[in-house]
Copies of this chain bind each other. A is one copy, B any other.
Amino acid sequence: MALKEQKREITINDIAKELNISPSTVSRALNDNAKISEATKEKVKAVAQDLGYELNLVASSLSKNKTNVIGVIIPNIGSQFFAKALSGIQEVARANGYNVIICQTNESVQQEVDMTRVMNSARVDGLVCCLTMETKDVGHFDVFTKKGIPVAMFDRVSYAVPGPKIVVDNYEAAYTATEHLINLGCKRVAHLAGTTSSKVFCDRTEGFKDALQKNDLPLLPQYLLSSDLTEQDARDAVRIWMNLPDKPDGIVAASASSGLIISAAAKSAGVRLPEDLSIISLGNERCNEFVTPSLSAVDMPGYDMGKSAVEQLIKCIKSEKVDSSITLKPIQLLIRNSSFKH
């Protein structure tokens, strides 16, 4: 029981006792009520700090319905795309007086469900979310909708949840990358695609296919491999392609990280880069600049997506009019040494 005693919350009653004033005076002082003198406010706040009393934002939310906290649920903090998105989210949130708490799902829908519970219990004023690749059912977001807590989604979104959606034109990203390789003279362009259960990767695959078709290049089934984009998947794809009689002379990788592995694996297999094989990745990581040859990429606007998502969310929190759906342009084609004039 000693532990429980030690962990007991400090309440305004403790402060009132210490100063020998009424709890309601303490409460008013802590809430900057105009009826209380500045001297009393200062005394109350000093004692509050001394006792370890923190203005309880959660309790405060029960009356004001505000915690000034925005929750963020993202799949993977280690990825540069999400790190940039977080920068955008945090900058805008902070400029508007909001703090940000972040949960990571590790691409697990069960963790996503748990994290929505945590965010709900933390009484966030609003939620910014990018879904896991596994997420199909989105019933775990209903609790926010029912309580009128806005949810903004970016990148991997579900239109079954009301609220602003910020996406990038993934079709265009892949189309641009593929056409870039074709314009350099590539005749046998392959694509390591992501999972077909994700709209992001389906759109990228469509962009790849249409770029081939529009440029009268055949789409050979062995040139389009769908995968989870793990390190092993990327190595397997290189092994399969480099054993074909008609090896690809260009590869579009559906993610930055698979592009780096493809490039390293092809080099290890003795393929001359970029003379015999051009590579471009959808998504840019810092490594892309440092590898030899440096790796061309279509840059995804992570920072801008995070920024837009939280801007729209704050409008929702303030009950202002929002743009329900924003599609950002990818994008920037970053031409580096891995794409080569054939």
Which residues in A have some Cβ–Cβ distance to B below 8 Å? Answer: 3-4, 6-10, 51-52, 54-58, 62, 65, 67, 69, 77-78, 80, 83-84, 86-87, 90, 94, 99-104, 106, 111, 114-115, 117-118, 120-123, 142-143, 145-149, 260, 263-264, 286-287, 289-292, 319
Contacts and interface: CB of A to CB of B under 8 A. Distances in A.
B291 A62 contact: no
A104 B121 contact: no
Contact of A7 (B56, B103, B106, B148): B148
B289 A292 contact: no
Q: Interface SS of chain A: helix, strand, loop or mixed?
A: helix
B120 A122 contact: no
Contacts of A120: 54
B54 A148 contact: no
Contacts of A3: 148, 319
Contacts of A100: 103-104
A3 B55 CA distance: 24
23 contacts: A4-B65, A7-B148, A10-B147, A52-B142, A52-B146, A54-B117, A54-B143, A58-B58, A58-B121, A58-B122, A69-B121, A78-B80, A78-B87, A90-B106, A99-B117, A99-B118, A100-B103, A101-B101, A263-B290, A264-B290, A286-B287, A291-B291, A292-B292
Contacts of A55: 117
A9 B62 CA distance: 8
Contacts of A121: 54, 56-58, 67, 69
A80 B101 CA distance: 19
Contacts of A145: 52
Nearest to A77: B77
Given A56-B121, A77-B83, A101 B99 contact: no
Q: Which residue among A7, A56, A62 has the maximum number of chain B CB atoms within 10 Å of its CB?
A: A7
A100 B74 CA distance: 13
Contacts of A78: 80, 83-84, 86-87
Contacts of A290: 260, 263-264, 287, 290-291
6 closest cross-chain pairs (CB), A and B: A52-B146, A78-B83, A57-B121, A6-B148, A292-B292, A287-B287
